[in-house]
A and B are shown apart, each in its own frame.
Chain A
Amino acid sequence: SQKIEQNSEALNIQEGKTATLTCNYTNYSPAYLQWYRQDPGRGPVFLLLIRENEKEKRKERLKVTFDTTLKQSLFHITASQPADSATYLCASRKGSARQLTFGSGTQLTVLP
C-alpha cells in the first residue's frame, strides 16, 4: 500500500544545533512534498514545498531535500532555537487522489 511515514519518536536537540527530520514514502512517487509546522492545539502552518525535480530548497534557517532514489525527504533546521519546538508534518498527494495525505508528524524539542 502507499504510505508516507515520519519517525514517530520525539526528537530532542540542544539549542544551536541542526535538527534533521525524516519523511519516507513507499509504493508511489509524489510530484512534491510539503512540510508544515504545528504547535499544540493549533492548525498546521505551511513552511516549504519541494518538487520531485528539485534536490534542495531553502528558506531562512530551513532546508528541505528530496531524494527520489531513497524515497525520502529530509527537513533541516539550522541554528535551532527553543521557539522551533513544535511538531513537524510532511504531506503529499498519493497518485491521482485529490487530497493531501499527512505523515504522523515528528515532535521536536529544542533545549536551551
Chain B
Amino acid sequence: ETGVTQSPTHLIKTRGQQVTLRCSSQSGHNTVSWYQQALGQGPQFIFQYYREEENGRGNFPPRFSGLQFPNYSSELNVNALELDDSALYLCASSLEGLETDTQYFGPGTRLTVL
C-alpha cells in the first residue's frame, strides 16, 4: 500500500507569484483534502475534491484553487501569493462513503513567501 506523497518538500516564493503544489493519494482512496497549517496552529481546511469536483470548501479566498485527476492525484494552486500564505500545506486522502472521515496525511509542503 502506497501512502500519500507530496511535492515539493519545500518552496520559496515572493509576494505576488503563483505556486502549484502536488499530491498523490493513498492507493484505494478517492477523496483528497487540502489543509493549511500555520506554525503553532491546527490544520485549517481549504477544500476537498471527490470525483474530480470540489466537494466542500473552507474559509479561503478564490485565489486558492485545486484540481483532482482521474487517478485521484491532486493539485493546489495559489495565485497572488501573500506573506500570510507562508505555512505547511498538507494533503490528506480518504475514502468517500465512510462516515468517519479518517484522514491520511502526506508529509506536507513547507511554503515560504518573501
Contact = CB atoms under 8 A, between A and B. Distances in A.
A104 B41 contact: yes
Contacts of A101: 45
A41 B103 contact: no
A34 B42 contact: no
Given A34-B100, A43-B105, 16 more contacts: A6-B42, A8-B40, A32-B100, A34-B102, A36-B103, A41-B108, A42-B108, A43-B92, A43-B106, A46-B102, A89-B42, A91-B42, A99-B33, A99-B58, A102-B35, A102-B44
B38 to A, nearest CB: 10
B30 interface: no
A8 B58 CA distance: 23
Contacts, number: 61
Interface in A97-112: 97-105
Contact of B110 (A41, A45, A46, A103): A41
Contacts of A95: none
Interface of B: 4, 33, 35, 40-45, 48, 55-56, 58, 88, 90, 92, 99-108, 110
Contacts of A43: 4, 90, 92, 105-108
A63 interface: no
Going nearest first, the 7 A-B pairs with the smallest beta carbon separation are A43-B105, A102-B42, A98-B56, A99-B45, A104-B42, A102-B43, A44-B105
